[in-house]
């Protein structure tokens, strides 16, 4: 394949609930005004006939299809990949609004044939304002870019699911997204984008995944995702998901950035939060406690996932989260 400086791109938006109807329409509108127009926009509806029929009757400038794979985000994304007809596929969440130059910023990096995928920055739009105990270092919990990520275009292990793109031939060659990973409805599973990024580069020495913070989307964060309960539940699930990924690709590949995050970014964050507290910021103590609690819950989830991954007779692709979260999931 000959890679042009500005390749053609299909944008895939996966949706599963009518509760995000107005946000979904905003997403589609943000794609209509891109400075680099997509070749096509595919909205994949995840096993929700009501949403599919309503959307198909409302919009006529995008392709609305049903998820033909297993229920869940990975199945919906793979359905879109199977239908895409372009050089690159870009993924945008149904609650994330793209900046007008989003696609242009992503596509500019594909002038290098060794770039397999490009992702961008995700900023949170807090429905009820950012809680004082929710430091920016923890924004990954709500699917956004956290403090400590590169500030200029840089090679990374993986990109963020709400704002990512891949060469179509690459994503098809590696077999698409792992169905045993990824969010299923409101259950906060994850790491499917981590795993596919790792698989993409494992078979392509010298090639890389790039994070371009100038390619911006803004992600809605409902009030219930700013609660301590959701924070702990999502952290536990992240640990479970990382255990799944490490079981497939190995611990070194799966956990390298996490080790750096725990060793350098979080200690500094705890120190600054405590400093803020001593300077009269009452929320500083809460932030420090949240950092410690998140690390503990994530580590506990990882250990539990490792135990379940080694249960005799458990298929490698079988999800390990079901029924093991100690917190009720927040809808």
143 φ/ψ sector (left φ>0, alpha ψ -120 to 50, else beta): left
d(CA 44, CA 140): 24
Pick from 189, 224, 187, 233: nearest CA to 327: 233
| pLDDT band for position 204 (cuts 50, 70, 90) | confident
CA distance readout (Å), 243 to 27, 134, 228, 254, 316: 32, 25, 23, 8, 11
CA distance readout (Å), 277 to 274, 289, 299: 5, 12, 26
Torsion of CA 325, 264, 199, 155, to 10 degrees: 140
d(CA 324, CA 208): 35
Architecture of domain 9-224 in CATH?
Alpha-Beta Complex (3.90)
* Beta-ladder partners of 14: 44, 93
Q: Which residues contact 49 (CB under 8 A, 6 or more apart)?
A: none
pLDDT at 266: 93
Per-residue pLDDT of 274-321, as tens digits, reads 999 999 999 999 999 999 999 999 999 988 888 876 655 444 333 332
pLDDT at 315: 42
Can you give the pTM of this predicted structure?
Answer: 0.87
Position 190 pLDDT exceeds 80:
no
Lowest mean pLDDT among 68-82, 174-188, 190-204: 174-188
Domain spans in the chain, listed from the N-terminal domain onward: 9-224
Per-residue pLDDT of 46-74, as tens digits, reads 999 999 999 999 999 999 999 999 998 99
């Amino acid at each position: 394949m000959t890679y042009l400086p500005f390749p053609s791109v299909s944008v895939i938006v996966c949706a599963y609930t009518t509760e995000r109807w107005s946000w979904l329409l905003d997403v589609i509108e943000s794609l209509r005004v891109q400075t680099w127009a997509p070749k096509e926009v595919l909205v994949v509806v995840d096993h929700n006939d009501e949403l599919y029929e309503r959307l198909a009757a409302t919009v006529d400038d995008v392709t609305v299809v049903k998820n033909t794979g297993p229920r869940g985000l990975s199945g919906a994304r793979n359905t879109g990949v199977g239908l895409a007809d372009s050089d690159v596929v870009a993924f945008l969440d149904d609650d994330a609004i793209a900046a007008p130059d989003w696609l242009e910023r992503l596509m500019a990096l594909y002038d290098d044939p060794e770039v397999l995928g490009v992702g961008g920055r995700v900023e949170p739009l807090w429905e009820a304002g950012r809680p004082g105990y929710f430091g920016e270092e923890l924004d990954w919990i709500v699917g956004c870019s956290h403090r400590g990520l590169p500030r200029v275009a840089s090679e990374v292990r993986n990109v963020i699911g709400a704002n990512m793109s891949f060469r179509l031939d690459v994503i098809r060659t590696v077999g698409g997204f792992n169905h045993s990973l990824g969010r299923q409805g409101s259950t906060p599973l994850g790491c499917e984008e981590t795993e596919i990024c790792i698989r993409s580069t494992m078979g392509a020495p010298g090639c890389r995944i790039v994070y371009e913070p100038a390619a911006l989307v803004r992600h809605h964060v409902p009030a219930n995702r700013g609660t301590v309960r959701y924070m702990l539940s999502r952290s536990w699930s992240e640990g479970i998901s990382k255990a799944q990924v490490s079981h497939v690709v190995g611990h070194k590949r799966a956990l390298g950035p996490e080790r750096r995050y725990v060793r350098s970014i979080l200690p500094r964050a705890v120190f600054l939060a405590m400093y803020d507290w001593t300077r009269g910021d009452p929320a500083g103590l809460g932030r420090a406690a949240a950092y410690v609690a998140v690390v503990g819950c994530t580590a506990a989830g990882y250990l539990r996932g490792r135990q379940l991954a080694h249960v005799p007779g458990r298929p490698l692709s079988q999800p390990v989260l079901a029924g093991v979260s100690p917190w009720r999931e927040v809808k």
